[in-house]
Each structure stands twice: as structure tokens, then as C-alpha cells.
Structure 1
Amino acid sequence: MTVSNSSAAAIDRPASRYGLVTGLTYAMFFMFAMTTDAVGEIISIAKVELSLSNTEASLFHWATMVGIALSGILLGFLADFLGRKNAIVLGLAIYGISSAVFFSSSSFSFYLALLFAGGLAIGIFKTAILALIGDISTSTSDHTRRMNACEGFFAIGAIVGPLTVVTLDSAGLSWRWLYLLAAAMCGVMILASLRTRFPAPVRQVETPKADMLSAVRLMGNRHAMGFSLAIALYVACEVAIFVWAPTLFSGYTGTPLAMAVAAYAVMIFFVLRAVGRFLALWILRIFDWKVVMSTFTGAIFICFLLSTLFGRDVAVFALPLSGLFMSMIYPTFNSKGISCLPKAKHGAAAGLILFFTAVSAAFAPLLMGYVSDVAGNGDMAVGFHLATVFAALLFALALYNLIADPAGGALANADSSDY
């Protein structure tokens, strides 16, 4: 592999010199999680405020996810084409503007347009962040640990966002103030990005110039598609809980402890997910990542299977507990899928994976709702039977990865040539 002189110099610089860049990646993950994962609380308020049906209210989630999916697959190349810093500034600018004008109108269609624009922006700056993590990493293992740390801050944002909306509502203030806070954070991060030194990304002489089809072409890469499939199955399991667990436990009666856990099931899930992502920084230093993935996906499958076999009395504890095991699955598979590709293609690889993430987040809960209506007469427990199938398939893929190690050669080559 041939690299430019400036890129070679970037490889020689110690990653520790990019502490400010690392801090920015954490802040951006926190910020967009704060808004995207607050959508459940926002829907519950906006549904009454705007007199929406369930289907209409669900578009608050769909608009963002569709925007992210389209941006990931069509605009992910911008991280490679414009450079990490320029793509981040562009994405933050679009997200900040779309968030800042939420008070300009109270129209449902206007909100959807802003949420869609925000999704496009997330796709732009998130793919750039993910590519940037590769630039400041010293090995594929270091890349995985950094990805888990970023997702740890995402998990914290996923807790802070819903709590902020609930607090605003309790104080008689609009949920739209959350987006003004996000806009202010974008402004600060844009200024910080412009004043921060970013590493020069690796540029391979033989690599074609990035374009809008860069991510689409990666669909022919077995590593990119394999990890994308695993991530899609993981996301299907995760969204099953924070989208449908409140419905599953609605009206639940049991022991005082069980009823208390049911009332805060999603919050407990998010807290355990956050704790687990920071624990990953230690666990992945000790154990082989393939063993960790197979063990933890197996634990997720057991949690879902026990919930399916023994009903809500077990599900009320097992489903929130699965958050601890889910914590490192997404960032680890995401990291390995990106690291299998040359650094010059990390933006496109991140965009492809983000596309499958968003598509799964949009369609998996919809499919669960459809199954529960058709086969269970509205009983969401039937929808969780489908989620158990997703968990079983995810576990099967992790076992295959452990036994066959299909990406081992590509990751070893990346360690020797790209890091």
C-alpha cells in the first residue's frame, strides 16, 4: 500500500496528541443521542399536543431514521471526499440550524421536515466521526476500545435526553427546548472543531476518489456486508426494548419490586447499557473480542428466550438486564466492520453500516407491531417472539464469527498496513 507523505506523518504521530479531537467525538455522540433517543417521550407529548394518531406520531421516529439511512448510504462518502473536519462542520451546521428553528412553526409537517433534515445531518457528521476514530487509533483493537468509549457517551446522552424532556414537561415548558439546547451545543462544537487540529487522513494512491456511490459499492464487500447484517440484527433487538417494552409492560401487575422495575424498565435498560459500554474498555483488553461477542449475544438470546417462555413476570427483569450484554455489541461490530476496509474508505464503510442501522431501527419495530396485531390480536408479547428470533440469529452469527474468524485476515492486514 502506498500513502502520501503527509499521511505517513499522521500515522507516526501518537494518538494521545489528539485529546481535543477525542473529546469532540464524545461530545457529538452525547449530543445527538440526547435528541434521537428522547423521541419516545417527545411522541407521548406531541401526540396529545398535535392530536396525532399512533401512526402519525410514529413518524417522529421514522423521519429521523429515514434521513439517517439515506445520508449514510448516499452522503457517507463526504467524510472521505471533504475530509473529516469539513464533513463534521457541515453536518453540525445543518443539525444546528434544523434544531434552532423548531419554534418557528407548530406544524406537524414542519416538524417532520426538520427531523428529516436532522437525520441527514447526523448521517454526515457521524460517518465523519467514525472515520476520524480510525485516523486517531493505533490499532484495530484500539479502534474498538475508542468506539466503545464513544458509544458510552451516546448511552449517557440517551439517558439525559428523555429525562430532559420529562423535566421540561413537568415545568410546563415545551419539548422543543431540547432542540434549542442541541443547537447551542452544535454551535460550540463547530467553533471547537474549527480551532482544533485534526489528523490528516490516510490517502491511498490507488484508491478511486470518493463519490456518492462509494458506500453502495461496498455492498459487494463480504466483510462490510457481514458486519452490517450483524449490526442490523443487533439493532432490531435493541429497539424492540426501548420502543415496545413500555407497551409490553403496560398494565402489568405483580410483586411490588416487579411493578417498580416495569415502570422504569427502559431507563434501567439504558443505564445498564451505559455502564456496560464503559466496562468494555476493560473487558476487551483482557478477552478476545470474538469470545466476548459470542458470550454476550448468547446472554442476550437467553434473556429474550426466557421472556418468551415464561412471560412478563420474567421479562420484566430479563429484558432490562439484556442492556448490560448489549452494551458492547454495536460499537465492537461497527469498529471491526470499518477496520476491515482501508482508512481511505472508512467514511463510506461507516455510511454503509449506518444505513443498515437506521433501516433496522425503522422497520424492525414496525414488523414487531404488525406481527403482534396479526398473530396476537394486539398482544405485544407475540411481537417479542419475533425479537427472540432476531436475537437467535445474532447469536448464530457471533458463533460463526468465533469459529470461522472470517474477518481475521483483513483485520490483521489492517493492523500491519493501516495503523
Structure 2
Amino acid sequence: MIAAKAPNNNTLIRWLTYLMFMMFAMTSDSVGEIIKEVKREFDVTNTEASLMHSLFMIGIAFSGLFLGFLADKFGRKNTIILGLSLFALSCYFFLVGDSFSFILGLITLSGIAVGVFKTAALALIGDISHSTKEHTGIMNGAEAFFGFGAIIGPLLVAWLVREGVDWKLLYVIAGGLCTLLIVLAWKADYPAHSLGGTPKEPINMTRSLKLLGNPYAMGFSVGAFLYVAAESAIYVWMPSYLVCDAKDVAATFSCYTSGPDKWLAMYAVSVFFSLRAVGRFVGIWMMQRLNWSLVLALFSLAIMLCFIAGLVGGKSVALYTFPLTGIFMSVIYPTFNSKGISCFPKHEHGTVAGVILFFTAAGAAAGPFIMGVVSDAYGGDAKYGFIVATVFTALLFVGLLYNYLYNPTEKRLAEIETSEYGQNAV
């Protein structure tokens, strides 16, 4: 069990966790804007440019599955500091990066680092929660701050490019924030953590692999894969889908006749992330009062309809419906994470968080990469990639509709509520 800590200390830990999410979102969710610059600077194809996103996510997936147990074995604080240190190091090396292959190497290292400290942070949320409902609320709060970082990052990249400053400065700024978080994490008093392992069941990579056969871990993991594959389609490829001429900077948004349309096309990713961030703060309230499975089923339906409308109606319709998906996507991933992790005892939260993170990152890596390959196969038109993404949204809706109708986790969550939190509400 986790030793109880004073409420004010838990508040400090919660805010540090929120800031960690915001910091790395500044880089990870700026990738759509960065890809446009990388394609021009290094003259690479859609498939090659998508490696900026895919390799980052592969790094997260690798560390989530194979290193997720570190948070359970060595404690949340030590693992968080290790991951943040690796991330800061990779960011600072962007100062000397001048080749596409070197940058891809740094991107991969930063992904591994994120996987290490994020699994520990996700496990830490369980340590400071007093019920599964509070766990879901804090998770939505963490993802809301992630949303803030996702707004700040693309805006900062756009401003840097407009001012003629190298986009790599974004990573240097993120490295500085990360260094500050390392100091704060080192000074903070984290909750005491019990290992929970036994000689018969040691805490290691093998236990992570065993969870691949657990229906609760796999159900939420597959859901996370489908959701993130659809979500990353928006922030990775929407900028490419909405541009009028990808090769001519002056004609990038020339096909939009009105001023508001041009503005929205330029800042569509930021609008998407803004709606997602607002929705996550609303989600903190929603998930305390409403049936989470019904909310997710209805919101996944809305996402699918927005994707279909953006494809059928073309750029002029997608300009509005694609960013609008942010409000519906807002609560899905943090709820997947929370409910999936909450199906397990607290001493296993780091390991199961790593497994879900593996599938999260796999979806974020595979989805945009497949979209890039399909788009290149049809002359580089991003529309064909979004057809693939729409299939992801349809599968997600089917799965969440099943979850609402049959509620397969109700009994398990009730058991964990009683054994881990000493309460009855789920």
C-alpha cells in the first residue's frame, strides 16, 4: 500500500505532474508544424517526414513496454528524474543537430525518455488518488495541461518560423523547462511506495509482457491504439491536408477566399488543441457525474461523423470539422488511461501504465505513418490518408458502443475500489 501524505504535499505533486505533461506536449504535438518545415529544409517525402513523429512514438512504445516496470521497482521519483534527465539531454543536443538522420536519432531518444517519466507519472496519479473517480479526474487534469502544452508548442513554432528563427529552438526551450522540473522533482517529497513484488513474481520486464494476455489491460490498450491513431491524424496531417500548395509558401492558403478561413487554416492545429484542452477541464466535471461509458460512446460517434464530413465536403468543410474533433476527443484518452490503470492494484500501476502507453505510442506511430504511405501512393494527396484515419474512428466507435452496452469492467472496478481505496463508488 501507499503511505498517506498530507493534502498540501499531494497538491504539490499533482501540479508537478501537470507541468511535466505540459512540457513534453510542447514538442510532441508540434510535429505537424515541424514536419512542414522539415520537408522544405531537407527535401524529404511525406513518408520520410512522418518519421519525425513515428520514431518518437516508437521510442515511447519501447520504453513503455520494456521499461514501464521501473516505476514499480525503483519508485516514482527516481524514475521520473531519470526520464526527465534523458529528455533534457536530447533537447539540448538539437543545438548541434544539422542533418536529418541526426535529428531522427534525437527524436527517438526523447521518445524513450518520455516513456520512462510518463509511466512513472501515470503511476503516481494512483498514489495520490482516493478513489477511481478522483483518479479519472486527476488524469483529465494532467491531459488538460498536456493540451496547454500542445497549444503553446505549435504557436511557438509558427512564431519562430515567421521571425526567421530556427524551429529547433523549440526543443532548447523545452530542455530548459525540463531542467527546472528536474530540480523541483528532486526537492519534492513524493509518497512512499511499496514494491508489491514477491520472489515468485519479481518486478521486471516479464511482468509487463504477461499483461499482454490480460483482458482489461488489452481492452483499454487496443482502444488507446485506435483513438491515438485517429487523434494524431489531426495534428500530424491536417496541416498538410488543408494547405493549397505545399511547395509554394506564398500560395499555402491561397485557396481560402475569406480572411477568417485563412486564419483558421493557419492555426487549425492550435484551435484543435485549444478545444481539446477546454474539453478536458470540462471532462474533470463530467467524469465525476456522468456515465463514462455513455459519454465515450457518444463522443466517438461525433468524431467519426466529423471525419466523414471533412472527407466528403473537402477542405472547406474539413477546415471546421477536423479542429472540432478536439472537443469530442478531449475525454477519451485520459479516461482510457484512468479506467485501464484502475483495473489493477496500485503497486502495478507503473507496469500497466507502460503497457497502455506502448499501444498508445504504437497507434501514434503506425497511424500517421500508414497515412503518409497511402498518401504518397496516391500522388501525395493527404485526403487518402484521412480515409484510413476515418476507418480508425469507425472501429473506435464500435468498440466503445460495445463497452457501453455490456460494461465488461464494472465488476473489476468495484473490486479495486473496495480493496485499494476502501470505497464503493466507481
Give the TM-score of the pair, scaled to structure 2.
0.91
Q: Is the 8 A contact 1:202 1:343 kept in 2?
A: no
Q: The residue matched to 1:371 in structure 2 has which SS?
A: helix
Aligned-partner Cα distance in 1 for 2:372–2:53: 14
Aligned-partner Cα distance in 2 for 1:200–1:97: 28
Unaligned runs of 5+ in 1: none
CA offset at residue 353 of structure 1? 0.9
Q: Is the 8 A contact 2:211 2:352 kept in 1?
A: yes
Cα gap change, 1:378/1:154 in structure 2, threshold over 3 Å: closer, same or farther?
same
Match of 1:106 in 2: 98
Match of 2:322 in 1: 319
Matches within 5 A, 1:301-320: 301-320=304-323
Match of 2:351 in 1: 348
Mean Cα deviation higher: 258-267 or 236-245: 258-267
Match of 1:228 in 2: 221
Match of 2:248 in 1: none
Match of 1:208 in 2: 201
CA offset at residue 205 of structure 1? 5.9
Aligned-partner Cα distance in 2 for 1:13–1:410: 27
Q: The residue matched to 1:80 in structure 2 has which SS?
A: helix
Match of 2:415 in 1: 413
Cα gap change, 1:395/1:157 in structure 2, threshold over 3 Å: closer, same or farther?
same
Aligned-partner Cα distance in 2 for 1:28–1:194: 13
CA offset at residue 57 of structure 1? 2.9
Aligned-partner Cα distance in 2 for 1:129–1:123: 10
Matched residue type, 1:393: L
Matched residue type, 1:407: T
Q: Does 1:275 align with 2:278?
A: yes
1:246-281 Cα shifts (integer Å, max 9, x gaps): 222222746624444333322211111111111111
Q: Does 1:328 align with 2:331?
A: yes
Q: Does 1:218 align with 2:211?
A: yes
Match of 2:387 in 1: 385
Aligned-partner Cα distance in 2 for 1:106–1:320: 33
The counterpart of 1:400, out of the listed 396, 399, 402, is: 402
Unaligned runs of 5+ in 2: 245-252, 422-426
CA offset at residue 203 of structure 1? 4.2
Match of 2:238 in 1: 245
Mean Cα deviation higher: 258-267 or 112-121: 258-267
Matched residue type, 2:239: P
Give the length in aligned residue pairs.
410
Cα gap change, 1:183/1:266 in structure 2, threshold over 3 Å: closer, same or farther?
closer
Matched residue type, 1:208: E
Aligned-partner Cα distance in 1 for 2:36–2:364: 19
Matched residue type, 1:408: E
Q: Is the 8 A contact 2:33 2:157 kept in 1?
A: yes
Q: Is the 8 A contact 2:208 2:355 kept in 1?
A: yes
Cα gap change, 1:92/1:254 in structure 2, threshold over 3 Å: closer, same or farther?
closer
Match of 1:197 in 2: 189
Q: Is the 8 A contact 1:201 1:343 kept in 2?
A: no
Cα gap change, 1:106/1:66 in structure 2, threshold over 3 Å: closer, same or farther?
same
1:137-195 Cα shifts (integer Å, max 9, x gaps): 11111111101100001111011112222222333332222222222222211111111
Q: Is the 8 A contact 2:119 2:354 kept in 1?
A: yes
Match of 1:370 in 2: 373
Mean Cα deviation higher: 220-229 or 252-261: 252-261
